[in-house]
């Protein structure tokens, strides 16, 4: 063995030899490239590693393209699906790691994440699906990413508050979403946005999330980001590393979904408050009934409501719009 290779490199090489999948091999090669001592003596080896890496990446992409199903969707689970979009190294995978039981790879080199990785974020009595993604960049992007973002219910625009070029990062994300014909909105659309949506663009609610709030320069940067973008999107500063504001983030994820929780009960019984039905805001009683059972929609005569807007047990018609926290008794 060449005397100037470190134990770290040798370990990565050992893992590479034992790796069985494209992903593992690519990860090992990247690690080898990262830890290899950088000097003249290893130039040839570095070039060789790069060549093997690029060949493996091509093979992996081909394999992914032929594997059916993977390339276009992440099966939705829970109350809604929110996808993270951001440049490399902003902490998307770290966030998924602290908010969910998923175990994405977190590392200080770019392009660690190559697949959409879903995890479930608990908030109160609901579970929200959060999807980690490869980074967006002008250099290289996976072709399936646009479709995943279009399919999601909402988007987290994730940036690194310790990055002096954070404003460029926001503009990069905005530019790429525009390429993908996705308009990230704060809520209901402005007339200008609606005009765009009319020509094949989709609108998705978005939140601008500044991560790494724990680092020294972040507070100032955050003030600037808020000043510039605070009127365009809701904004939140967090630290995945120190757990700063994660409870706030969970609540914001719920808010982003723009849903209400309703509970059903049988006459004379107590509702099960641990298992809400989550409905798009603006849904009616008959839509809730249809969610409970497809036949209920046709058979529903009326409902009784226990909630904030009505007195307890008040009778409402099929078209009554349900509110957050309503308890509903369906009469067929």
Ligand X SMILES: Nc1nc2c(ncn2[C@@H]2O[C@H](COP(=O)(O)OP(=O)(O)O)[C@@H](O)[C@H]2O)c(=O)[nH]1
Closest CA to 250 of 164, 140, 332, 127: 127
CA distance 332 to 73: 37
> Closer CB to Mg ion, residue 93 or residue 264?
93
Residue 114 interacts with ligand X (CB under 6 A)?
no
Residue 112 interacts with ligand X (CB under 6 A)?
yes
Residue 113 interacts with ligand X (CB under 6 A)?
yes
Residue 100 interacts with ligand X (CB under 6 A)?
no
Q: Are 170 and 191 in contact (CB under 8 A)?
A: no
The entry of ligand X, Mg ion, none that residue 312 binds, CB within 5 to 8 Å by partner kind: none
The CA–CA distances, whole Å, from 129 to 36, 79, 197 equal: 38, 7, 25
Interface pick for ligand X out of 185, 239, 278, 283 (rule CB under 6 A): 239
CA distance 328 to 58: 55
> Closer CB to Mg ion, residue 111 or residue 302?
111
> Closer CB to ligand X, residue 112 or residue 235?
112
Residue 106 interacts with ligand X (CB under 6 A)?
yes
CB of 213 to ligand X, least distance (A): 7
CA distance 97 to 116: 14
> Closer CB to ligand X, residue 159 or residue 279?
159
Residue 89 interacts with Mg ion (CB under 5 A)?
no
- Map residue 156 onto helix, strand or coil: strand
DSSP state of 284: B
Of 110-118, 179-187, 231-239, 284-292: span binding Mg ion (CB under 5 A)? 110-118
CA distance 261 to 231: 28
CA distance 131 to 174: 19
Buried b (16+ CB within 10 A) or exposed e, 215-250: beebeebbeebeeebeeebbbbbbbbbeebbbeebb
> Closer CB to ligand X, residue 112 or residue 283?
112
Q: List % helix, strand, coil for the chain (3-state, nearest 5).
A: 40, 20, 40
Residue 53 interacts with ligand X (CB under 6 A)?
no
Q: Which residue of the chain is nearest ligand X when measured via CB?
A: 91
Residue 93 interacts with Mg ion (CB under 5 A)?
yes
Residue 235 interacts with ligand X (CB under 6 A)?
no
| Binding footprint of ligand X on the chain (CB under 6 A) | 86, 88-94, 106-108, 112-113, 135, 211-212, 214-215, 239-241
Q: Which residues bind Mg ion (CB under 5 A)?
A: 92-93, 112-113
């Amino acid at each position: 063995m060449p005397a100037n290779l470190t134990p770290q490199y040798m370990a990565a090489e050992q893992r590479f030899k034992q790796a069985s999948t494209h992903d593992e091999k690519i990860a090992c090669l990247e690690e080898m490239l990262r830890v290899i001592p950088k000097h003249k003596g290893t130039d040839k080896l570095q070039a060789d590693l790069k060549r093997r890496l690029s060949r493996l990446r091509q093979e992996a992409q081909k394999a992914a393209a032929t594997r059916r199903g993977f390339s276009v969707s992440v099966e939705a689970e829970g109350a809604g699906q929110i996808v993270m979009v951001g440049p490399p190294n902003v902490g998307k995978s770290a966030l998924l790691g602290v908010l969910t039981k998923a175990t994405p790879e977190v590392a200080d080199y770019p392009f660690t994440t190559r697949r959409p990785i879903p995890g479930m974020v608990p908030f109160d009595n609901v579970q929200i699906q959060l999807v980690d993604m490869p980074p967006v960049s002008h250099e290289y992007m996976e072709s399936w990413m646009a479709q995943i973002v279009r399919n999601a219910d909402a988007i987290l625009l994730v940036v690194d508050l310790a990055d002096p070029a954070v404003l460029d990062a926001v503009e990069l994300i905005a530019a790429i979403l525009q390429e993908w014909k996705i308009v990230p909105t704060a809520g209901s659309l402005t007339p200008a946005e609606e005009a765009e949506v009319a020509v094949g663009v989709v609108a998705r609610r978005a939140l601008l999330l500044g991560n790494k709030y724990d680092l020294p320069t972040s507070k100032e940067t955050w003030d600037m980001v808020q000043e510039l973008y605070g009127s365009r999107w809701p904004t939140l500063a967090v630290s995945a590393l120190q757990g700063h504001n994660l409870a706030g983030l969970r609540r914001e994820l719920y808010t982003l979904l723009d849903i209400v929780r309703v509970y059903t009960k049988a006459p004379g019984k107590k509702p099960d408050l641990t298992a809400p039905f989550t409905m798009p805001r603006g849904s009616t009683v008959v839509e809730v009934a249809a969610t409970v059972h497809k036949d209920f929609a046709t058979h529903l005569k009326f409902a009784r409501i226990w909630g904030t807007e009505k007195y307890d047990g008040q009778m409402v018609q099929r078209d009554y719009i349900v509110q957050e926290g309503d308890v509903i008794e369906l009469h067929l």
